[in-house]
Chain A
Amino acid sequence: MADGVEGSDAMAIERTLAGDRDAYRVLVDRHSRTVYKMAYRMMGNAHDADDIVQESFLRAYQKLKQFAGNANFGTWVYRIAANYAIDRIRQRNADEVRREGPSRAGEDSLEVDPMSQVRDLSPSPERLAGSSQLAERMKAALAELSPAERTAIVMRHWDGCGIEEIATVLKSNSNATKNTVFRAVQKLRRALAPFLEGKEARAMGTEG
């Protein structure tokens, strides 16, 4: 971190805007690890997470004058990163669809029945022998979520974001965002059910 810069983000932003480019280093230093963690969870690998971090801080720099200081810089750059990650996942999915055929097209639509989208990921019993397999399994299950669902679960569970905050990133309303969170949990549950529960999860809305 630059020497003597213990001040707030606001001060670093002010100095950057005044022409002191190195002042931006403070902001990068202060917030890049948080953004990296989110990006890693979104993308599932370090290489893509690095790309997200770098691009987000570049974009934030270029748009710094638009940042009116009415929100926390960390929150702002986090949002930029989350949006960029969503774009990258969509791009990646589109590339996969092009390569593998149209079977997964449109999976990010909010209207699609979640149950129809849970691909059978049942592993062999040997593969699910320990927690590392669980982590692997979870990684695969996360990769199967739509970009919006993945964003919702990453922001909600690991970063403790409120529904409104997630809704801002998803450019959605709070009710739809709540449903996205719930659907993400349901999909993860079904993907992990053979490992966590040893049986199929209870069907939604079951009455007994």
Chain B
Amino acid sequence: MKHRTEEELIAYREGETKERMEITAHLKECAECREELARIESVFGALDAMSVPDPGDGYGERVWQRIAPKLGQRPTRWWETPFLPQRLAALGGVVALLVLAFLAGRWTKPRIPVADQPDAAKVRERVLVVAVGEHLGRTEMVLMELENAPAQKGQKAINISETERRAEDLVEENRLYRQTALKEGDQAMASMLDELERVLLDIANSPEEVTPAAFETIRKRIEQQGLLFKVRIVKQRLDERKGKPDAKPAENQARDTERKKV
């Protein structure tokens, strides 16, 4: 008689087999497999023997007392909880750019006739352009890190936890900018940010350690969608909108435009 394997019996015990009827029938006839199942069952019995010490009735209150001082005012708006170091750095960068943009605007203003002065919508657009430019810079770094990560022979797992944490922060920023772009009617930017968000989410939700195969899949996806190029092109356009024509030589621009068509 062919005995059932240990794995089949564990699957049976766990209710995760497609051969329930067959195994049940087999067990009726096979004393050895019944004993084997009983031995497997004893493992579960041993698991039950490991109790967890009761943390006590006031446990929830104790947890609350420990975490309450660390909670921000309200988790609803990201700009109200900018306490994470990465976010502080990002926020600092944006604020610095806004100050620069403001000062630059003041210094260069006399050249603009009063009638042509930017209205509120233009100011908002300018703020968005500056902030998204910075955001794209950080995203570009994350994508580049993934694209250029060295794959070592025989490596069983690749740790991308650091990149993952940064992607997680970028997802939040990205969502905000995407919504703002939509409100401002900038469909092209909203669509690019949407595409970016999906990849960032994938990275953020990956296991901290991925197999080389899974890692290669993420990398291929970035390559196939030409995300890095798209990010660079949009970033370059934003730089132009910011009035910084220092971005790239014409030769590179032509190459990027060509890549975008692909």
Q: Which B residues are CB-close (under 8 A) to A139?
A: 50
The answer to whether the Cβ of A118 comes within 8 Å of any Cβ in the partner chain is: no
What 1/0 mask marks residues of chain A from 162 to 176 whose CB sits below 8 Å from any chain B CB? 010000001100000
A61 touches B75 (CB 8 A): yes
B75 touches A32 (CB 8 A): no
Question: In the bound complex, what is the Cα–Cα distance between A25 and B75 (angstroms)?
Answer: 14
Q: Which residue of A lies closest to B77 (CB)?
A: A65
User: How many A-B contacts at CB < 8 Å in the complex?
Assistant: 161
Q: Which B residues are CB-close (under 8 A) to A33?
A: 55, 59-60
What 1/0 mask marks residues of chain B from 59 to 83 whose CB sits below 8 Å from any chain A CB? 1110110111011111111000100
Question: In the bound complex, what is the Cα–Cα distance between A146 and B173 (angstroms)?
Answer: 34
Given contacts A21-B73, A131-B49, A181-B14, contact A30 B39 (CB under 8 A): no
B10 touches A36 (CB 8 A): no
B42 touches A57 (CB 8 A): no
B207 touches A46 (CB 8 A): no
Q: How large is the interface on B (under 10, 10 to 19, 20 to 34, 35 or more residues)?
A: 35 or more
A189 touches B40 (CB 8 A): yes
> How far apart are A137's CB and chain B's nearest CB, in angstroms?
8
Given contacts A186-B10, A201-B39, contact A163 B16 (CB under 8 A): yes
Q: Which A residues are CB-close (under 8 A) to B161?
A: 87
A138 touches B46 (CB 8 A): yes
Q: Which A residues are CB-close (under 8 A) to B211?
A: 109-111
> How far apart are B46's CB and chain A's nearest CB, in angstroms?
5
Q: Which B residues are CB-close (under 8 A) to A163?
A: 16
Question: In the bound complex, what is the Cα–Cα distance between A40 and B156 (angstroms)?
Answer: 29
Q: Which B residues are CB-close (under 8 A) to A36?
A: 52, 55, 59
The answer to whether the Cβ of A3 comes within 8 Å of any Cβ in the partner chain is: no
Residues of A in contact, count (CB < 8 Å): 71
A65 touches B75 (CB 8 A): yes
> How far apart are B203's CB and chain A's nearest CB, in angstroms?
12
Question: In the bound complex, what is the Cα–Cα distance between A32 and B63 (angstroms)?
Answer: 8
Question: In the bound complex, what is the Cα–Cα distance between A105 and B152 (angstroms)?
Answer: 15
Q: Which B residues are CB-close (under 8 A) to A205?
A: 5-7
What 1/0 mask marks residues of chain B from 196 to 217 whose CB sits below 8 Å from any chain A CB? 0000000001111101000000
A196 touches B205 (CB 8 A): no
> How far apart are A86's CB and chain B's nearest CB, in angstroms?
8
B43 touches A135 (CB 8 A): no
Q: Which A residues are CB-close (under 8 A) to B32?
A: 208
The answer to whether the Cβ of B1 comes within 8 Å of any Cβ in the partner chain is: yes
The answer to whether the Cβ of B224 comes within 8 Å of any Cβ in the partner chain is: no
B3 touches A178 (CB 8 A): no
Q: Which A residues are CB-close (under 8 A) to B52?
A: 36-37, 40-41
The answer to whether the Cβ of A63 comes within 8 Å of any Cβ in the partner chain is: yes
Question: In the bound complex, what is the Cα–Cα distance between A106 and B211 (angstroms)?
Answer: 10
Q: Which B residues are CB-close (under 8 A) to A196?
A: 39, 42-43, 46
Q: Which residue of B lies closest to A181 (CB)?
A: B14
A171 touches B74 (CB 8 A): no
Of A135, A153, A186, A192, the residue contacting B6 (CB under 8 A) is: A186
Question: In the bound complex, what is the Cα–Cα distance between A151 and B61 (angstroms)?
Answer: 27
Within B107-130, the residues touching A (CB, 8 Å) are none
Question: In the bound complex, what is the Cα–Cα distance between A74 and B49 (angstroms)?
Answer: 26
Query: Can you identify 7 A-B contacts, CB atoms within 8 angstroms?
Result: A36-B59, A58-B71, A111-B156, A138-B50, A178-B16, A186-B6, A201-B39
Known: A181-B10, A185-B43. 5 other contacts (CB 8 A): A25-B68, A138-B47, A171-B206, A186-B6, A197-B39
Q: Which residues of A contact B (CB under 8 A)?
A: 1, 16-19, 21, 24-25, 28-30, 32-33, 36-37, 40-41, 46, 50, 53-54, 57-58, 61-65, 86-87, 90, 105-106, 108-112, 131, 134-135, 137-139, 142, 153, 156-158, 163, 170-171, 178, 181-182, 185-186, 188-189, 192, 195-197, 201-208
A-B pairs, 5 with minimum CB distance: A29-B60, A106-B156, A64-B75, A205-B5, A109-B156
